[in-house]
Structure 1
Amino acid sequence: MSSSPYILILFYSRHGSIAEMAKHIARGVNKVTGIEAKIRQVPDVSSTAEATSPALPDEGAPYCTLDELSECTGLALGSPSYFGSMAAPLKHFIDQTSTLWMTGQLIDKPACGFTSASTMHGGQEQCLHSMMTPLIHHGMVWLGLPYKNKELISTTSGGTPYGASHLASSTQENNLTTEEKALCEAQGERIAKMAVKLNS
């Protein structure tokens, strides 16, 4: 077991928006005493054949291990919305967690999700639901974003009560709005506070 509790911020990011959101969620986590943020990503998957990724990615956060997932105190899961669902690389990683499910490693740990899409109705909320489903099967406690976060009411970009989101005007757009940054940080702070309470 890891010596210090941490929120695992685990994501797949194709164009950079999700990686940027992960940084702001980590800032929210790090506002809370007694817990830290650990940012990890998942490798791409091949659509044609078995492909081997290097042990370390060319850039960004290290790849996540199953041990890092099992030892986390809470989990923030991030993915772009592809047709209203999480990206295949993240789903592929989650599909390998049956040993954690059989041993109950994630039961009663808090979890949340964050996503990005290039259109207003690009399936952000449905994508968050697709990430929620396997984590509920793991026995995790899903945390959304309550409306005490006033940015949920004022935003004309991303933000949902199911989890933080980003509206990218194009696939190369990863500049978060002020509201989106605030909601990411609020989500990170909320899951960290809940993890400390549940872990005490």
Structure 2
Amino acid sequence: MKILIVYYSTFGNTYKMAQLIADGVKEAGGEPIIRRCPELIPENIIESRPDMKAGAEMQKDVPLVTLEDFKQADGYAFGTPTRFGNVSAQLKNVIDQLGPLWIQRVFEGKPAGVFVSTGTLHGGQETTILTFMTVLLHLGCIIVGVPYSVSDLYLTKGGGSPYGPGHIAEAENKREIDQNEANICKAFGRRLTEIAKRLKST
């Protein structure tokens, strides 16, 4: 059972979330496929920013996502930092290239969900996930969130909601993922995998 985890991450926070979701996929007996979106920020800007440069270095060995990755997957987790309450341009750029697969109905009947990171508590986590759900509906996916049987939703002082995992990185993007946020990420990975198994067996 292959779960494609496709994400964009400027400073590495969303990438770390992707790794935790992959752990959850493995715990449920699935095979996580982690892929990143192509960068759109000019290289000279990244080189001039030590924090961006460190983020790029952290992810340098993660392959770029391809259309074939989407075709081979049984479920999807899309990750993005928020951009003014919406998806990043890098992930949107990938989405805008999915037309040929949409025509082939590649996504129909497969589970999918969204995970996000923000700099602040009310930085658009829920709006970003909710607006991205329209994309998933157009593709024909079955939307997966995080139910309240995951007790960390009651405890989190950081990110995470029924709509999907979240992380608050704070203003300088240096806050590490806390235990509640990590547990929600893993639970999301397990749930995606378990639902993908059920759907594929019907």
**What is the TM-score of this pair, normalised by structure 2?**
0.88
Please show how residues 1-200 of structure 1 align to structure 2 within 5 Å.
5-33=1-29, 35-45=30-40, 59-200=60-201
Aligned twin of 2:47? none
Q: Which amino acid aligns with 1:125?
A: E
Deviations 1:67-114 (A, max 9, x none): 111221000000001111010010011001001111101000000110
Partner deviation per Cα, 1:31-53 (whole Å, 9 max, x = no partner): 112x2101000111258xxxxxx
Deviation at 1:60, TM superposition (A): 3.8
Secondary structure class of the residue paired with 1:30: helix
Which deviates further from its counterpart, 127-136 or 18-27? Answer: 127-136
Aligned length: 186
Tell me which amino acid in the other structure corresponds to 1:41.
R
Maintained 8 Å contact 2:119/2:173: no
The alpha-carbon deviation at position 170 of structure 1 amounts to 2.7
State TM-score, norm by structure 1: 0.89
**Structure 1 residues without counterparts, runs of 5 or longer:** 48-56
Matched-pair contact (CA < 8 Å) for 1:42–1:63? yes
How much does 1:138 deviate?
Answer: 0.5
- Where in structure 1 do 4 or more consecutive aligned residues deviate above 2 Å? none
My pick for the range that moved more, 168-177 or 96-105, is 168-177
